[in-house]
Amino acid sequence: MRSTMMDAPLQISRILDHGSTVHGTAEVVTWTGAEPRRMTYAEVGRAAARLAHALRDECGVTGDERVATFMWNNAEHLVAYFAVPSMGAVLHTLNIRLFPDQVAYIANHAEDRVVLVDSTLIPLLAKVIGDMTTVRHVVVAGGGDPAPLVAAAGDRISVHHWDALLDGRPDTYDWREVDERDAAALCYTSGTTGNPKGVAYSHRSIYLHSLQVCTPEGFGLGPTDRTLAIVPMFHAMSWGLPYAALFSGASLIMPDRFLQAAPIAEMIIAEHPTLAGAVPTIWNDLLAYLDSHEVDTSSLAEVIVGGSACPPALMHAFEERHGIRVIHAWGMTETSPLGSVARPPAGASGEDAWRYRYTQGRVPAGVEARIVGPLAEPLPADGTSVGELEVRGPWVTGRYVGDETPDEEKFRDGWLRTGDVGTLSPDGYITLTDRAKDVIKSGGEWISSVELENALMAHPDVVEACVVGVPDERWGERPLATVVLREGAGVGAQELRDFLAASVARWQLPERWAVIDAVPKTSVGKFDKKVVRSRYAEGGLEVRELAAP
C-alpha cells in the first residue's frame, strides 16, 4: 500500500531556507584577531544566493560540477557550504594540511572546476594550483595580495575577488530541486597508505545526519546554543556542525586561523559558546592555558572531543577544575562523521557514568554497529567479544568515489569495516582498543597489542613497549614484544613474561622479545609499527626466543 505522504526531497537548500528565515537572527561570528566579523543567518542566505549566481554566471558552474574550498572555518566557508550544494553543484572541502602533491591529486581526482580560497592561504595554494589540471577559476576571500596566486595559476585560470564577484548580484536564487541521493559534498580521507579516497555525501545523508546531531543523543543543538566549531570544515565537514547550526538555529563561532589556546580562550570570554568541538590536542593545550590564566568559561557547558581517543585525565581535569563536561564522540570521514557519542545511560552516575564516558559511545538510531571476528564471523554484542567494528546506515558510505564496486578491504556484505577493533555492549556502547592492522591474529583468535603494551609498561623497569605481530608457521602470527628499559635496569625477557602472565591469558604471552633503544615514531609521534615489523623481517633486531605458547 502506497503512503499518501508528499514526496518532499531531503535537500540542503531546505536547511538554508529554514535557517535563513526562521533562524534569520542567529549569527556566525568569525574571529579576526581584532574585532570579530558578524553575519546573521539571514545574511548567509542572501550571500549564498549571490555566490550561486556568481558561480553560475561568471565561473560557468553547471550541473553537478565540483566547487572546492581551501579555507579556514569562517563565514565565507559557511556560505559556500550552503550555496554550492543548493545550486546542485558539489562542494569539495580540500584539506589544507595535506602534502601539496596529495592536494593536487585530490583536486584532479574530483575534477574540481573552481577553488574558493582564503587570502591567508594564498601562499599554500600557490604551491599546488599549477598542478590542478581541471581548475578554471579561483575566488579569493579576504584582502591579501593575490599576486603569487595569479603568477602560479597561469593563463588557464581566472582569479576573482570574492567581494567584487558577489557584489550587486540578486540575493535570492531559485534553488534547484535535486534527487536527494545525489552528491552534495565530497571529502577525501587522508589514508595512511595509498592515495586519499573520496567519500561523496548525499543531500539525504547530510540532512539526516544534521537532524541526528541536533537530538539530545547527538549534540542536542537548539536555538539557545552558541557552537564554537574548532574542528576544521575541511575535516569530515566539521562534524556536521555548520549544517546542524542552520537546522537548529544555534549560532556559530568560527576561529578562522586562530587555533592556539590563547585566542580560543579569548573567543570563550567574548562570545560565550555553550558547546565546542575539537580534537584532543586542542583541548590539551587549552587546559594548560585555563589552568594558568583567569578565564570565565561559565557559558561552556560541554565540549565534544573526537578524532582520537580522549585521555580520561583530560576529561576529569576539564570537569573537575573548570566545570566543563567533556563528551567523547567517535566517527570517521566515512561515517559523515557521527558514529557514536559517549553519553551515559539514564540513571548512571558517579564512577558508573564515567565508565560509559570513557568508551567511544553509544550508536544513535541511524547507525547500526556489529563486531566481527578474525574469521569474518559476527560476534555477540556482549561487551566482551573482541572483533573489528563494522557499521552501516543512511549516512555511512558504501564505497569510495570512482570505485564501481566496494573495495573488499573496506566493505563487507553492505557494512563498512572501520579498521577499529574492540567490543560492543548490549546497550550499544562501543569500546575500541586497537586498530585492526595492529592486532595480532594468532590461530583464529585476536591478541590486542595495545593491551600487552599497557600491561608491560606497568612494569617499573619498562619505559616503553611496542608489540607487533610477526609471521609464525604454526599460528599465522605471534606477538613480538620490543621494550625500552629504564637506564641501568637488569630485567630479562623471562621476568617480563612472568610479569605479563599476571594480567594476560597464557596463550597471548609473547615468546619473542627484543630490547631496543627507542621505539621508532611516526611524524605525529605514534609508534611506527611498520618500521618495527620490517626491522624484524630484515633481521635488524636481536630477538630472544622463550618457551612456545
Catalytic residue from among 283, 395, 446, 513 = 446
- Rounded to whole angstroms, what are the CA distances from 59 to 65, 157, 533? 11, 10, 51
Residue 22 grid cell: 526562521
Q: Which of residues 5-44 bind a copy of itself (CB under 8 A)?
A: 5-8, 10, 14-15, 17-19, 21-26
Catalytic residue from among 76, 271, 302, 334 = 334
Q: Is 524 in the site for a copy of itself (CB under 8 A)?
A: no
**Please, what is the Cα angle at 526 between 417 and 443, to 5 degrees?**
50
The stretch among 314-322, 363-371, 439-447, 533-541 that binds a copy of itself (CB under 8 A) is 363-371
Catalytic residue from among 40, 127, 441, 464 = 441
Instruction: Say if CB 453 and CB 467 are below 8 A apart.
Output: yes
Q: Which of residues 468-507 bind a copy of itself (CB under 8 A)?
A: none
Q: How far is the CB of 305 from a copy of itself (least distance, A)?
A: 20
Reported as type and span, the H/E element at residue 362 is strand 361-362
Q: How far is the CB of 43 from a copy of itself (least distance, A)?
A: 14
Catalytic residue from among 189, 215, 217, 464 = 189
Instruction: Say if CB 426 and CB 380 are below 8 A apart.
Output: no
- Output Rg (C-alpha) for the chain, integer angstroms: 25
Instruction: Say if CB 480 and CB 471 are below 8 A apart.
Output: no
Q: How far is the CB of 204 from a copy of itself (least distance, A)?
A: 7
**Residue number, 410 or 459, with CB nearest to a copy of itself:** 410
Amino acid at 311: P
Count other C-beta atoms under 10 Å from residue 463's C-beta: 14
Q: How far is the CB of 207 from a copy of itself (least distance, A)?
A: 9
431 in helix, strand or coil? Answer: strand
- Rounded to whole angstroms, what are the CA distances from 276 to 108, 284, 300, 385? 34, 14, 8, 34
**What residues contact 247, with CB distance under 8 A and at least 6 apart?**
15, 18, 19, 210, 211, 213, 214, 221
Q: How far is the CB of 42 from a copy of itself (least distance, A)?
A: 9
Residue 155 grid cell: 593563463
CA 400 distance to own-chain centroid: 17
Distance CA 27, CA 254 (A): 11
Contact flags string 378-417 toward a copy of itself, x per CB under 8 A? ---x----------xxxxxxxxxx------------x-x-
Q: Which of residues 336-355 bind a copy of itself (CB under 8 A)?
A: 343, 345-347
Q: Which of 49, 121, 200, 261 binds a copy of itself (CB under 8 A)?
A: 200
Q: How far is the CB of 76 from a copy of itself (least distance, A)?
A: 23
Residue 52 grid cell: 550561486
Q: How far is the CB of 419 from a copy of itself (least distance, A)?
A: 17
Instruction: Say if CB 112 and CB 132 are below 8 A apart.
Output: yes
Amino acid at 488: G
**Residue number, 373 or 398, with CB nearest to a copy of itself:** 398
Label each residue of 118-131 as H, E or C.
Answer: EHHHHHHHHCCHHH
Contact flags string 303-342 toward a copy of itself, x per CB under 8 A? ----------------------------------------
Q: Which of residues 208-267 bind a copy of itself (CB under 8 A)?
A: 208, 211-212, 214-217, 220-224, 247-249, 251
**Residue number, 215 or 299, with CB nearest to a copy of itself:** 215
Sheet holding 66-70, edge to edge: 90-93, 66-70, 112-118, 137-141, 158-161
Residue 334 catalytic? yes
Q: How far is the CB of 133 from a copy of itself (least distance, A)?
A: 18
Q: Is 182 in the site for a copy of itself (CB under 8 A)?
A: yes
Q: How far is the CB of 41 from a copy of itself (least distance, A)?
A: 11
Q: Which of residues 411-450 bind a copy of itself (CB under 8 A)?
A: 414, 416, 426-428
Distance CA 291, CA 417 (A): 40
Binding residues with a copy of itself: total (CB under 8 A): 74
**Residue number, 133 or 224, with CB nearest to a copy of itself:** 224
Distance CA 218, CA 210 (A): 9
**Residue number, 199 or 532, with CB nearest to a copy of itself:** 199
Q: Which of residues 40-69 bind a copy of itself (CB under 8 A)?
A: 64, 66
Q: Is 368 in the site for a copy of itself (CB under 8 A)?
A: yes
Distance CA 210, CA 215 (A): 9
**Residue number, 177 or 545, with CB nearest to a copy of itself:** 177
Residue 35 catalytic? no
Residue 127 catalytic? no
Q: Which of 61, 183, 327, 332 binds a copy of itself (CB under 8 A)?
A: 183
Residue 446 catalytic? yes
Q: Which residues are catalytically annotated?
A: 189, 334, 441, 446
